[in-house]
Amino acid sequence: MPEQALPPNQAYYRACVGSWRAVMSLRITDSADLARSGMRWVDRVSVRIMAAWPRWLGTIALCTTVAFDAQGEVVHTTAVRWLGITIKRSVEIFALDPDGLSFTVRGGMSGAGTVTPSATSASYTLDWSGARFVQTTQREPNLVTLTQTGPGFGGTQALHRQP
């Protein structure tokens, strides 16, 4: 079915099928908010380490994949890698709502979101490691710009399609 004939949530994720990679970019915006976030201590420390990571030690990469399963749900994997070693990994399932715009997320992260009618951007509210954060994406053919804002941290990732 041509992308134009698909509901926006289907068109958005079908256009994202494949592998994506970005150099991780994270910053601490408010240390006190991060401390009160509800995240486990080890997760707060990992956020701080990623935000302060010096480039001379090698970049930290955010690697994602998007695929559809036999039930028509989106299978999304996320891996954080350093020197090719996976540091963190999660798998999420996105159930696309029949309304054509909404979706729910379950797995390593949980939450919900919506895709714009143009199928070029999406907004998410997600729970990860005990904290709620907001994520927005802007999709182009070979680039997805991902912006995350959480309690005391934020970042923008430029995910490039991988061959």
Residue range 45-93, pLDDT digits in tens? 989 988 998 888 999 999 999 999 999 999 999 999 999 999 999 999 9
β 110-115/121-128 pair status: antiparallel
Instruction: Show contacts of 39-45: CB within 8 Å, 24+ apart.
Output: 39/129, 39/130, 39/131, 39/151, 40/129, 40/130, 43/129, 43/130, 43/131
Architecture of the 3-161 domain:
Beta Barrel (2.40)
pLDDT for res 129: 87
Q: Would you say residue 3 has pLDDT above 70?
A: no
Q: What is the DSSP letter of 97?
A: P
Model confidence, pTM: 0.90
> Which position has the token pair 């749900």?
73
**Mean pLDDT along residues 7-25:** 97
Instruction: Give percent of the chain with pLDDT exceeding 70.
Output: 98
**Mean pLDDT along residues 107-135:** 95
